């Protein structure tokens, strides 16, 4: 019986990765187990119990420098930042930078995570010159699930930020995708996969599967370009 494949992955790629795993398991009759975490949490992991790591490229470069990764990483695609509101709320105007600024200044609450998306949003507010005005109503959550829960369970015109992929996937969980950030200030994070040095042969087969046209199509359909 083939050994299980264990993957440590950032949550932003979950919608597409889940579909790829389902296809691989059907074809290869292997079991893939995934542990999702934020990019900062992945960077701090010291155990080597996983076969594959999927993360933004910077954490992977750090891991490779320590000798934990085998070979070059494989690019999966990039994901942008989006805006969400609770179901039933009026969709905010965010098509331009000025519209986004006005929406944020008029919002009752602003919620984002403490991972890649949140770090970018914090810096963006400073660049837009509205960080000090927004700070009193900002909540920084540990991960996207906590952000989603606050927005879904909130009221008024609260604004939430997250990777576009996971916002769209959460359409049945009390939040509505309002749209991506304006292109001029959009931030794309590129995600890649890499084998751990102690990975089993089945993990190598999964990496090969990630490079197939069918896998790439599934990732793209989930918003990972």
Each residue of 183-221: pLDDT tens digit?
999 999 999 999 998 888 899 999 999 999 999 999 998
Whether 64 has a pLDDT exceeding 80, the answer reads no
Spelled out in words, what is the top-level CATH class assigned to the domain 81-185? alpha beta
Burial 64-75, CB ≥16 within 10 A → b, else e: beeebbeeebbe
The CA-atom distances, in angstroms, between 81 and each of 100, 144, 171, 190, 207 are 13, 12, 16, 12, 26
Q: Are 152 and 174 in contact (CB under 8 A)?
A: yes
Say what the pTM is.
Answer: 0.83
What gap in Å lies between CA 13 and CA 27, rounded to an integer? 21
* Fold (CATH) for 5-79+190-221: D-Maltodextrin-Binding Protein; domain 2 (3.40.190)
Whether 1 has a pLDDT exceeding 80, the answer reads no
What is the mean pLDDT of the segment spanning 87-109? 97
For the chain, what are the domain ranges?
5-79+190-221, 81-185
User: Residue 39: left if φ>0, alpha if ψ -120 to 50, beta else—which one?
Assistant: alpha
Whether 67 has a pLDDT exceeding 80, the answer reads no
What is the mean pLDDT of the segment spanning 18-35? 93
């Amino acid at each position: 019986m083939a050994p299980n494949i264990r993957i440590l992955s950032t949550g932003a790629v979950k919608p597409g990765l889940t579909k790829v795993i389902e296809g691989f398991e059907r074809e290869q009759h292997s079991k893939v187990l995934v542990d999702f975490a934020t990019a900062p949490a992945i960077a701090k992991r010291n155990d080597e119990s996983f076969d594959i790591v999927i993360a933004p490229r910077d954490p992977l470069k750090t891991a490779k420098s320590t000798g934990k990764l085998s070979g070059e990483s494989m690019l999966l695609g990039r994901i942008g930042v989006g805006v969400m509101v609770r179901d039933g709320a009026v969709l905010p105007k965010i098509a331009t930078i000025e519209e986004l600024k006005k929406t944020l200044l008029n919002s009752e609450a602003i919620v984002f995570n403490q991972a890649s998306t949140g770090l970018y949003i914090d810096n963006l507010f400073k660049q837009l010159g509205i960080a000090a005005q927004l700070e009193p109503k900002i909540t920084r959550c540990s991960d996207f699930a906590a952000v989603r829960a606050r927005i879904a369970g909130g009221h008024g015109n609260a604004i939430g930020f997250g990777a576009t992929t996971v916002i769209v996937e959460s359409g049945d969980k009390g939040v509505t995708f309002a749209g991506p950030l304006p292109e001029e200030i959009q931030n794309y994070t590129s995600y890649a996969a890499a084998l751990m040095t102690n990975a089993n042969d089945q993990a190598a087969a999964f990496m090969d599967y990630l490079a197939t046209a069918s896998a790439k199509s599934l990732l793209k359909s989930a918003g990972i370009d």
